[in-house]
C-alpha cells in the first residue's frame, strides 16, 4: 500500500516552472509518507505531475513509482496504491499479446494492461486499488478506484486544474488549497458523521472518487464514468450449491490475498469472520512449514468492567484462546490503556483528516501501530457483516420498518448538545432524509422481489454503500498511519456480487444469523467458533476512561478559543456530563454510545483547531 498524489491541467505547461512544481510534488508525497515510508518519487510532465510514497510489499527492489513505460515513442506513467490479486493471470494474458515485463510487481501489470486495453482494463482487475495514469495517446489523466472502495482517492477541481491524493492532507499540501466547511460539510460532521455521503470529501469543494468509478481528465473536461455497479439477478443455485460456491469464493479470495514478498499476519478476534480468514491462512502457511502470526485486541482490565448488551453479548478472549490453540498460531495479545486511548483520539483525526469513530478509531490506530513492528501486511475479517447480514439492524423489526439509516434511527442524541441557532441552521432532519432517500432510490431491485425482499435489498445496499465504507475508511487510515497494509478478503467483488443475489432465507437458514457463511466455513473451525453469536470490535467499559474524557471536555468548555463551542450549548452539555451513560444505546452503529459522543466532540474540536478550518 502507498500514498499517491498529483495534479493535472490540460491547458497548462508545468515544465515552465519545473523546480517549483517538483517541490510541490515532493511536499504532497512527504505529508503522506506514513502510507509509504520505504521510498518516494515524483514525475513532472507538461500538463501535470505525479508523486508517490511507497510501502514495498511485492518486488521490493524494482517496484518504485512513479513507473513509466514507453510505446511507439509515447510514455505512459502510473502512481498506484493497492494490491492486485489476479496479477499472474493478467500478466500471462499480456505476455501472450506480446508485452514484456521488467518487474514482478502488480504496478507494471496495471500500466501494461492499460496500454493494451485502455481505461476499461479496470474491469479485469481483482483487487484493492486507487491509481492515476498519464495517458499520452488519449491526452488525458485517468483516475480510478476499486469496486468496493477499499482504497481512498480524493480530489478537488479549480477551473481546469484537478488536484488529487490518497488522503485529504495531500491536497492541502498544494499551494492555495485551504480547508473550509460550508453547511453541507457541517451536516456531514454533525448530522451523519462519522459516516460520509458517498463521494463527499466533507470540506468545501472536496470530493472522493466513488467506488467502481474512474475520472477521465482531458481537454474535453472531467468525465466521471462507472465501470462497475451492483446488479440484481434471480438466484438459481440450490442451497447446497450456494454454500459450495460461497465456500470457494471466500477461501479463494483469502488465498489470493496472501500474496506478498514479506510475511503476513491476521487480526484474530475469535469471531467467525476473522477466524475463517486466519484458518485458511494458517493452513496455507503450514504447507510451507511456517506458522501464522495472529493478533487480538482488548483493553486493560476490560474483564473487570465488561457489560454485556444486545450489541455486544460476550467478550472475545475465551474464543481467541480457543482459536489460537486450534490454529497453533504465534499469537500476540495486545492491550490499550485509558490514557493511550484518549491521547490517540487526536492521532486518529490526523490519520483521517476528519473526526472519526472516536475511541473505536483511536484504539484500532494504536493496535495497528503495535502490529507494524512484527508484520507489514495483515488480513482482516472486515466487511463480512455488511455482505452476509450480520448486524442487528438486518434482523430487528424496528430497523426494518424505519424510514431512516438503521444504524442511526434517532437523531435526538446528536441534537441534544447543539445550540438552538445552529440546529435551526443545519436543518438536520431534512439533510439526513434527503441523503437516505437518495441512497435507497439507487438500490437495484428485481421486479419479482416481494416488498419484504425489496426492503432486505435496501438495507443491504445501505450497508454496502454507507456503513461498510465507514469501516473500510477506518481500517485504511488507521493501518496506513503506521505503514501497515490491511487487506479485506470478504470485500472481493466476486463475493459481493454473488451474495447480493442470494435470498435472505438462504443467508439466515434456520434463523441463524450469517448461516450461509457459517455453513461455508464448516470444516475450517470448531463449532464453538463457527456458531458463536456475533460480538463486534471490543470497546472499553471502564468508567475511568469516561471520567478522563469528561475532564477533557470540561477543559474544552472552559477554553474561550475552543472552536467547537460555537456550535454547542453549555447547559445541555453540562446536563449530558452529569447523566450516567447508557452503554447499550449507541447513537451510531453498535458501539458509539455516551463516551464515544464525548470522544467525537473532542475530535471535532481538535480537527477544527489543528486544520485551521474556516466556516463559510
Which residue numbers are catalytic? 2
CA–CA separation, 236 vs 232, rounded Å?
12
Which DSSP string do the residues of 101-133 spell out, in sequence order? -S-SSHHHHHHHHHHHH-GGGGGG--EEEEEEE
- Runs of H (alpha helix) within 390-466: 397-401, 412-415, 420-426, 428-441, 451-462
Q: For the sheet containing 264-267, what is the strand order?
A: 330-336, 293-299, 264-267, 377-379, 485-487
- CB 119 within 8 Å of CB 142: yes
338, 545 Cβ separation under 8 angstroms: yes
* Contact yes or no for 538/318 (Cβ under 8 A): no
**C-alpha–C-alpha distance, residues 94 and 111, integer Å:** 11
CA-nearest of 281, 190, 226 to 444 is 226
* Crossing angle of helices 570-578 and 543-557, rounded to 10°: 160
**3-state SS class at 167:** coil
Length of the chain: 616
How many other C-beta atoms are found inside a 10 Å radius of the C-beta of residue 555?
Answer: 11
CA angle (130, 134, 139) in 5-degree steps: 130
Check: CB of residue 55 under 8 Å from CB of residue 487. Answer: no
- Residue whose C-alpha cell reads 439492524 in the numeric block: 393
Is 21 buried (19+), middle (13-18) or exposed (0-12) by CB count in 10 A? buried
Task: Enumerate residues 6+ apart whose C-beta is below 8 A from 510.
Answer: none
The residue with cell 476499486 is 146
| Cα–Cα distance list, 526 to 274, 287, 537, 571, 594 (Å) | 13, 20, 21, 53, 36
Residue 462: all three cell numbers together:
445501505
Are 140 and 216 within 8 A, CB to CB?
yes
Question: Residue written as cell 472518487?
Answer: 209
Q: Taking phi first (over 0 means left), then psi (-120 to 50 degrees means alpha), and beta for anything else, what does residue 199 get?
A: left
Cα–Cα separations (whole angstroms), residue 254 to 115, 278, 453, 518, 529: 29, 9, 30, 16, 19
* Stretch (H or E) spanning 4: strand 2-8
Closest CA to 242 of 510, 515, 443: 515
Cell triple for 514: 450469517
Amino acid at each position: 500500500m502507498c500514498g499517491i498524489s498529483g495534479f493535472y491541467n490540460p491547458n497548462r505547461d508545468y515544465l515552465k516552472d519545473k523546480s517549483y512544481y517538483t517541490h510541490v510534488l515532493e511536499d504532497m508525497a512527504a505529508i503522506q509518507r506514513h502510507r509509504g515510508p520505504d521510498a518516494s518519487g515524483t514525475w513532472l510532465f507538461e500538463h501535470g505531475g505525479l508523486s508517490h510514497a511507497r510501502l514495498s510489499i511485492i518486488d521490493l527492489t524494482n517496484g518504485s513509482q512513479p513507473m513509466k513505460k514507453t510505446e511507439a515513442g509515447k510514455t505512459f506513467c502510473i502512481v498506484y496504491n493497492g494490491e492486485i490479486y489476479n496479477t499472474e493471470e493478467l500478466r500471462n494474458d499480456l505476455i501472450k499479446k506480446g508485452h514484456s515485463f521488467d518487474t514482478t510487481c502488480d504496478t507494471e501489470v496495471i500500466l501494461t494492461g492499460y496500454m493494451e486495453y485502455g481505461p476499461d482494463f479496470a474491469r479485469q482487475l481483482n483487487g484493492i486499488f486507487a491509481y492515476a495514469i498519464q495517458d499520452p495517446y488519449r491526452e488525458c489523466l485517468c483516475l480510478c478506484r476499486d469496486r468496493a472502495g477499499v482504497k481512498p482517492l480524493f480530489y478537488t477541481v479549480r477551473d481546469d486544474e484537478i488536484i488529487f491524493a490518497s488522503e485529504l492532507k495531500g491536497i492541502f499540501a498544494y499551494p492555495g488549497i485551504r480547508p473550509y466547511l460550508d453547511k453541507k460539510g457541517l451536516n456531514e460532521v454533525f448530522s451523519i458523521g462519522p459516516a460520509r455521503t458517498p463521494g463527499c470529501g466533507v470540506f468545501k469543494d472536496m470530493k472522493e472518487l466513488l467506488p467502481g468509478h474512474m475520472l477521465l481528465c482531458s481537454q474535453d473536461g472531467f468525465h466521471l464514468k462507472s465501470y462497475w455497479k451492483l446488479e440484481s439477478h434471480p438466484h438459481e443455485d440450490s442451497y447446497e450449491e450456494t454454500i459450495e460456491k460461497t465456500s470457494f469464493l471466500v477461501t479463494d479470495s483469502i488465498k489470493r490475498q496472501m500474496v506478498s514478498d514479506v510475511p503476513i499476519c491476521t487480526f484474530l478476534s475469535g469471531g467467525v469472520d476473522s477466524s475463517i480468514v486466519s484458518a485458511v491462512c494458517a493452513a496455507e502457511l503450514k504447507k510451507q512449514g511456517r506458522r501464522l502470526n495472529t493478533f487480538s485486541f482488548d483493553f486493560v482490565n476490560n474483564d473487570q468492567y465488561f457489560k454485556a448488551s444486545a450489541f455486544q453479548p460476550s467478550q472475545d478472549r475465551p474464543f481467541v484462546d480457543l482459536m489460537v490453540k486450534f490454529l497453533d498460531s504465534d499469537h500476540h495479545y495486545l492491550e490499550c490503556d485509558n490514557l493511550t486511548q484518549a491521547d490517540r483520539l487526536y492521532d486518529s483525526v490526523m490519520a483521517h483528516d476528519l473526526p472519526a469513530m472516536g475511541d473505536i478509531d483511536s484504539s484500532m490506530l494504536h493496535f495497528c501501530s503495535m502490529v507494524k513492528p512484527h508484520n507489514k501486511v495483515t488480513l482482516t475479517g472486515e466487511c463480512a457483516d455488511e455482505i452476509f447480514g450480520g448486524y442487528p439492524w438486518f434482523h430487528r423489526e424496528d430497523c426494518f420498518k424505519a424510514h431512516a439509516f438503521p444504524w442511526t434511527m434517532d437523531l435526538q442524541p446528536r441534537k441534544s448538545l447543539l445550540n438552538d441557532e445552529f440546529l435551526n441552521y443545519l436543518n438536520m432532519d431534512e439533510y439526513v432524509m434527503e441523503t437516505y432517500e437518495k441512497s435507497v432510490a439507487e438500490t437495484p431491485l428485481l421486479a419479482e422481489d416481494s416488498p419484504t425482499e425489496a426492503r432486505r435489498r435496501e438495507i443491504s445496499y445501505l450497508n454496502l454503500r454507507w456503513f461498510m465504507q465507514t469501516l473500510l475508511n477506518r481500517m485504511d487510515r488507521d493501518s496506513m498511519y503506521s505503514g501497515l497494509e490491511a487487506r479485506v478478503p470478504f470485500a472481493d467483488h466476486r463475493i459481493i456480487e454473488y451474495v447480493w443475489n442470494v435470498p435472505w432465507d438462504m443467508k439466515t437458514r434456520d434463523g441463524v444469523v450469517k448461516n450461509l457463511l457459517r455453513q461455508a466455513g464448516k470444516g475450517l473451525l470448531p463449532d464453538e467458533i463457527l456458531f458463536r453469536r456475533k460480538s463486534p470490535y471490543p470497546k472499553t467499559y471502564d468508567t475511568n476512561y469516561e471520567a478522563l474524557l469528561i475532564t477533557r471536555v470540561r477543559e474544552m468548555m472552559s477554553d474561550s478559543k475552543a472552536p467547537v463551542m460555537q456550535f454547542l450549548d453549555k447547559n445541555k452539555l453540562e446536563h449530558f456530563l452529569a447523566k450516567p451513560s447508557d452503554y447499550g444505546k449507541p447513537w451510531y452503529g453498535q458501539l458509539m454510545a455516551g463516551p464515544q459522543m464525548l470522544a467525537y466532540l473532542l475530535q471535532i474540536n481538535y480537527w477544527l483547531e489543528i486544520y485551521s478550518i474556516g466556516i463559510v
